[in-house]
Amino acid sequence: MYKTVQGVQRGLQILEAINDIGCRATCNQIAVLTGIHRTTVRRYLETLVSLNYVQRSADDTFFYLSPKVRKLSDGYRHESVHSTKTLELMNELTAHVMWPADLSTFKLDSMLVIESTHRTSRLSLTSSMIGKRLPMLMTASGKAYLASCSDEQRTYIIDILKSGTSLDSRLAQDDAYVRRVLSETKRKGYGQNSGEWDEYSKIASIAVPVYVQDEIFGSLNIIFHRSYMTPDEAAAKFHDYMLDKAQRIGESLRI
């Protein structure tokens, strides 16, 4: 039996504390929350800053988690999250609407598709979507997630997009555009896109949020040809049915 490494344990405790405190944390707050002496906390913070897992404010008062922290979960396999019931419900959705569906969750700086019916849908526009990353501000799934998460998480995500090199970086810096997208999505109750993402300029999509125990988990979308119907037409036909499936999928997820 190997002994635990205290340094690793303390470093992770400090990262967890900053995450629990929220957008900005002081050295004293972290010390109180973790029970680690303030001087020791400060020493660990300097190390985490040098490794770019933590960022500091200009006046050296506050500390923030950096986008690099998201990479720590990049190898996490979402297959363990959902069950056969999840796919069964998604297949029922596709059978009803005739178009393929995707289940995605936020990861790093985009929505990651973790389950899909593209491989079984006769109207699929691609062979597979599992593992595909969807831009946050160009896709229905990303918009639905952003409009449904907490203000704190939304601000954090937008900040990541602004400072990154993702496809959303330019759009995230346009505050008027972001406000307009969020307002429209909240008003309608679903996210939508119709050719905004150049890689899939011929398709449209609508998406609804998926909650697990009242916490936002991800988005459920359907994808269809733009020439077949508009997002609003799709929503008029399928929105209520999608909401029911999203609720039942949320109940099927193992978190």
Domains and CATH numbers, the chain: 6-68 (1.10.10.10), 78-252 (3.30.450.40)
Q: What per-residue confidence (pLDDT) applies to 128?
A: 65
Return phi, psi of residue 116, to 5°.
-160, 155
Please name the residues in contact with 85: beta carbons below 8 A apart, sequence gap of 6 or more.
252
The span from the CA of 58 to the CA of 72, in Å, is 26
Q: What does pTM read for this prediction?
A: 0.69
Q: What per-residue confidence (pLDDT) applies to 73?
A: 56
Below-50 pLDDT ranges, the chain:
77-80
Q: What per-residue confidence (pLDDT) applies to 79?
A: 46
Q: What per-residue confidence (pLDDT) applies to 195?
A: 87
Q: What per-residue confidence (pLDDT) applies to 23?
A: 62
Q: What is the pLDDT of residues 5-31, one digit of tens each?
A: 888 889 999 998 888 786 678 999 999
Q: What per-residue confidence (pLDDT) applies to 119?
A: 78
Tokens of 43: 């020493």
Nearest one of 37, 55, 21 to 29, comparing CA atoms: 21
